[in-house]
Structure 1
């Protein structure tokens, strides 16, 4: 019995690395993770490959792909040249709008991009200045390192340069929420709050307002009429394992892109 047990143990030790190698590790943007988790679950159900998805933020995901701590990184903002190395590939897997979201009780239906920018800069402080009630605006933003925040700041021109470095122009009095879920909770529970979240995360708990008279819809993002939009990007090393490349191939396939659309995002093919 001891010999048999020893043999089984040896076999287990030999096969353990193989089992571990079959796991694809993915980390990064919390916005991309929303759809990535669904893609991973469906992929696992049809293959022998396990996929682990971690929400760590876009900046962390980019670093993880670059230094090899994750096979695949996720970013919901454009990646800067100095964040990559020559072996890192960027692949757009979907597109997403960023919704300026308000409480369902808020009467304001439309804002211009300039008005939203001024609200986040702290230049417009009261809803009465944009057609709402005479109440102070509660401004809610994402945390530093968030891809959604990075994309929002870039699109809305909410960055300024100090000593050659770009810094945020968002008012320091803005409340900070970690992740789409926290932003939704704050806005859904405060009739005078405004926050920005991934369009794919909008539900009945709050309302996406029109921007420049254009509704935040997939169709309007696809045509370019709704301009607060960004790509969902995955990053992978050119020498990444086959199972990581196979998972990305699945994401870009018809089945994968159907899931992207079903989850409320815009497919790329």
Structure 2
């Protein structure tokens, strides 16, 4: 999905792109209206995308001559595009890998929020919670029937994100383990959090994982190790699956890009983060 925010106008959308193609310089502010004008391009994580769109809309409402284009593509796209300068800002919903920082030493990471990853099941699944080890075994294909975790005698349908997804990378690191087993190759792979939610909501006996920001009543969010997946539990550290949401720039930001990042990390931007169901960092 690509969204362009110009002033207070409605946000137009277009079909998702696998890789961003827009190339724009890091523009300097100019003297017009509020004193800021220019264009910002942002691409990457589909978890960060809807939050970035809200933040862009609020910023452009205050600075009508600033145009911000927000595009998806996945966290790996966000890292590469920011590092290569094909967009002004990249987005990644995971920790940046050591190998990426070595490959792209000019990359600067700006953590704007934290986000829980919820384990969700089809609403009719008669299981309300799992241990973290049970989740690992399900996604590894070691547990294949709901009866093995206190549910009915029904085969478990595993739904996962695709390779390159920041949500998947964070899930693999925190649940499967860095040296742990891979996600079972029979899993249904989906390209976004929204697609995972839709698939789990419409596929009986299924289980998946997605960002807290995508939780709604169409899926059942499961407690993990007895802890409900709530923003409060994630913020307190009680909920065990939490990751950072990062924006990325090639070098320290300047001009209108810096102004937007300052807005995001300021009081108003962090309130939007909270309002959208994520955990503020300030």
Q: Which TM-score bucket, shorter chain as reference?
A: 0.7 to 0.9
**1:200: how far off?**
1.1
User: Is the counterpart of residue 40 in structure 1 residue 56 in structure 2?
Assistant: yes
**1:238: how far off?**
2.2
**1:92: how far off?**
0.7
**1:34: how far off?**
1.7
User: Is the counterpart of residue 256 in structure 1 residue 269 in structure 2?
Assistant: yes
**1:82: how far off?**
2.3
DSSP 3-state at the match of 2:238 = coil
Structure 1 residue ranges without an equivalent (≥5)? 1-17, 162-167
**1:158: how far off?**
4.6
Which is greater in Rg?
1
DSSP 3-state at the match of 2:246 = strand
Q: How does 1:87-166 map to 2 (within 5 A)?
A: 87-160=106-179
- Which residue matches 1:77? 94
DSSP 3-state at the match of 1:191 = coil
CA distance in 2, matches of 1:101, 1:34: 20
CA distance in 2, matches of 1:253, 1:204: 31
- With normalisation by structure 2, the TM-score equals 0.84
1:97-116, CA deviations, whole angstroms, 9 ceiling, x for partnerless residues? 00000111111001000000
Q: How does 1:1-269 map to 2 (within 5 A)?
A: 22-47=38-63, 48-84=65-101, 85-160=104-179, 169-269=182-282
Check whether the contact 2:82–2:90 (CA below 8 A) recurs between aligned residues.
Answer: yes
- With normalisation by structure 1, the TM-score equals 0.88
Structure 2 residue ranges without an equivalent (≥5)? 1-29
CA distance in 2, matches of 1:108, 1:190: 16
CA distance in 1, matches of 2:167, 2:252: 29
CA distance in 2, matches of 1:240, 1:264: 27
CA distance in 1, matches of 2:205, 2:246: 33
DSSP 3-state at the match of 1:227 = coil
Check whether the contact 2:84–2:250 (CA below 8 A) recurs between aligned residues.
Answer: no
Check whether the contact 1:121–1:158 (CA below 8 A) recurs between aligned residues.
Answer: no
DSSP 3-state at the match of 2:47 = helix
Check whether the contact 1:28–1:73 (CA below 8 A) recurs between aligned residues.
Answer: yes
Check whether the contact 1:159–1:169 (CA below 8 A) recurs between aligned residues.
Answer: no
**1:83: how far off?**
1.2
DSSP 3-state at the match of 1:30 = coil
Check whether the contact 1:140–1:175 (CA below 8 A) recurs between aligned residues.
Answer: yes
1:17-76, CA deviations, whole angstroms, 9 ceiling, x for partnerless residues? x99x81101011000112111111111111021110000100010001100001111000
CA distance in 1, matches of 2:161, 2:98: 23
CA distance in 1, matches of 2:235, 2:254: 33
Q: Which has the higher helix share?
A: 1
Give the aligned CA root-mean-square deviation in angstroms: 1.7
- Which residue matches 1:10? none
Check whether the contact 1:183–1:195 (CA below 8 A) recurs between aligned residues.
Answer: yes
